[in-house]
Amino acid sequence: MDIIDEQLKRLTSYGSWEIIAKDNKTTYMASDGPHGLRFVTSEENGYQTDEPSFAYPTLSFLANTWDLNLIKQIGNAIAEDCIKHNVSMILGPGVNIKRTPLCGRNFEYFSEDPYLSGMMGQAYINGVQEKNVGACLKHFAVNNREYDRFYQSSEVDERTLKEIYLKPFEIALKAAPYAVMCAYNPVNGILSSENEYLLKQVLRNEFSYEGLVISDWGSVRDRAKSLKAGIDVAFPYNDAFYNQLKKGLECNYITKQEVNESLLHIDQFIEKIKKVENNIVINHQELCEKAVEDGIVLLKNEAILPLNNNPQKILLVGEFLNNPIISGGGSSKVTPNNKVEDLMSCLKKDGLKSDMEYVLGYMIRYGLPTPFGYKIALEKASNSDMVIVGVGNTMLEEKEETDRTSIKLNPVFIDLIKKLATYNKKVIVVLYCGSAIDVSDFVDDVQAIILAGYAGQGVNVGLSKVLLGLTSPSGRLAESWAMKLEDTYTNNQVGNSFIEHYSDHVFVGYRYYTSNNIKTRYPFGYGLSYINVRYNSLKIVNENDNYHVFVEVENLSNIQGKEVIQLYINDVVSSVSRPIRELKKFTKILLKANEKKTVEFIITKDDLKYYHPSLHRWYLEDGDYNVLICKDAENVVLSEKITICEDYYSQYSKY
């Protein structure tokens, strides 16, 4: 075999998971993430067996923490799991935007907001690569639903593409991920794996990315076309790929220079991952549990939480409380290496001395709930002081390759909650799910709703501490929860099988709801707490066109807790349509009992720009901007105006 043949073979993976080194013998393993290591040990007849590993909270849950330092720690821990199994690259994080709550893979993504998604992705990558394991940023780009994802094109105008769907990648790329993975779907009519505009003009030129670009598994139709577009390694191995590359070379469709550029990216990738050192220093189980405490979102609380230790009888209902769903289905599913503890055991361990009893209420059969012992549950509910019921979505409902058809819970769960509420006035609902839920069928019947999410193998350990008030809930929603599916812009529409036209433009998620005065059930950024935080003052100081924003907050409670401070920008008068507010900065702080703190943000001119569709670049328009400090996307607590005066000749005439 001559040297060019050996080179061409390196442009496709060895088997399903491995990148081939220069000697054509040594290989380096990639494995699924992003919620932990899915290390496949064998494949037979299309079925894969994976080795148990630490199952961390899903990205959807981690985003609810709004804690970049925690996300980085999770990245560190996942890297250590990779090192233990000689895995060189974890396939994550995914920073795709949650345009519709129906997307089956939303649990794998951070948020509907590009800034929050990008910052979370950046922290995750920094954490993984701090230990010289590669992170792989995905799915590039505009993969926002699973419906016919291999064929239906995402049709997006240039401004929307740059402001919403590419912005999280642009931000996350500042962490210099070792690899970027293309998406399955066509974008504006061209497959992501063959899209030179995305992979070369945007990724390489505009975003200055110098690392490895790989395909998603099975996304390459023609290897020569994908190489031409910028795919360095195609996964998984396919017999046809070598011949396609050979033919492309022979007819001068691809050049030796293009082959050499991809080989250089592969070799540079391998040099980075060779620096791995086997130093395991993190208590992984403890981190799994700590993350849960930070990400649980208290959605409703009518003075029933936290639980107290007064003599009372508590009934726990539902298989999810005993055997919770901790992740959605598909390639990101991790088999936990520790048994997921049941909630009752956790509550007892944490000191709850109430008389507790557990009943099944329903069973998960063939992946879906079916009533099982309603009568027992209702009888015991009528003789209890309080009921905690666990419900949610199974891995058949939130999974890769298919979307949900509704944001309501399975009717079995709705029926059970409503029946329990007729027999007991103190019902607490715990939701185990990875995406937004329509709670309208039961929200008025229960006293509390708590989002446990898909929180990995430590879910009930952390949940117990929040229920008991050992930790004040500090999770905030990273996506809007609409009143009903019909209130979302996309509703139940999925395109016409040829294209999906993104006619909502930049008005995605809370940008759509707030700009159109549509009330949500629970806004983006929303979450209740056991502490009472007062926002005292907002002060802005301009230093050389950097706006230093000082926010003083005060904990008025006798217990400590964490608060997420959110800063949004409103362009008062713009030449183009802009959302009424856009998240630009955030931070999460710990406030001790009765403590005051001042938080500083720095707003630059770049934070105020929009992408100008006529100029094909980011543009700063002078005028007034409101700096908004918010509890969530719908509730402004403090506001201050700044005025931008740019050079006269940098501006286009408005009048």
**For residue 1, what pLDDT is reported?**
52
Cα dihedral 390, 395, 400, 401, rounded to 10, equals -120
Asked whether the beta carbons of 578 and 623 are under 8 A apart, the reply is no
pLDDT score at 41:
84
| pLDDT exceeds 60 at position 641 | yes
Predicted confidence (pLDDT) at residue 45 exceeds the cutoff of 80: no
Per-residue pLDDT band at 551 (split at 50, 70, 90):
very high
Find the mean pLDDT for residues 239-250: 97
One DSSP character per residue, 551-586 reads EEEEE-SSS-EEEEEEEEEEESS-SS---S-EEEEE
* C-alpha torsion 578→584→588→592, nearest 10: -90
Mean pLDDT computed over 558-584? 98
Q: Is the dihedral of CA 491, 495, 497, 500 positive or negative?
A: negative
Confidence of residue 98 (pLDDT cuts 50, 70, 90): very high
Asked if pLDDT for residue 256 goes beyond 60, the answer is yes
Instruction: Compute the average pLDDT of residues 382-397.
Output: 97
Burial 453-472 (b: 16+ CB within 10 A, else e): bbbbbbbbbbbbbbbbeebb
Q: From residue 591, give the alpha-carbon distance in Å to each of 302, 342, 534.
A: 23, 31, 11
Looking at residues 96-111, what average pLDDT do you find?
98
Residue 34 in contact with residue 85, Cβ under 8 Å? no
Arithmetic mean of pLDDT, 443-467:
98
Confirm whether 350 is a catalytic residue: no
pTM above the 0.95 mark? yes
Q: pLDDT band for position 49 (50/70/90)?
A: confident
Mean pLDDT within 524-539? 98
Nearest to 223 by CA among 2, 10, 16, 30: 10
pLDDT at 281: 78
User: Does the structure show a pLDDT above 70 at 186?
Assistant: yes
Asked if 574 contacts 622 with a C-beta cutoff of 8 angstroms, the reply is no
Q: From CA 477, how far away is CA 111, in angstroms rounded?
A: 9
Task: Quickly state the pLDDT bin for 3 (edges 50, 70, 90).
Answer: confident
Average pLDDT over residues 558-564: 98
Query: With 80 as the cut, is the pLDDT of residue 279 above it?
Result: no
**H or E element: which one contains 114?**
helix 114-129
Catalytic residue from among 32, 67, 81, 216? 216
Residue-wise pLDDT for 406-436, tens only, equals: 999 999 999 999 999 999 999 999 999 999 9
Which whole-number Å values give the CA distances from 329 to 203, 255, 470, in the listed order?
Answer: 30, 41, 32
Residue range 611-629: average pLDDT? 97
For residue 445, pLDDT over 60 is answered with: yes
| pLDDT score, position 519 | 98
- Under the banding of pLDDT at 50, 70 and 90, the label for residue 319 is very high
Mean pLDDT, the chain, integer? 96
Token couple for 221:
């139709």
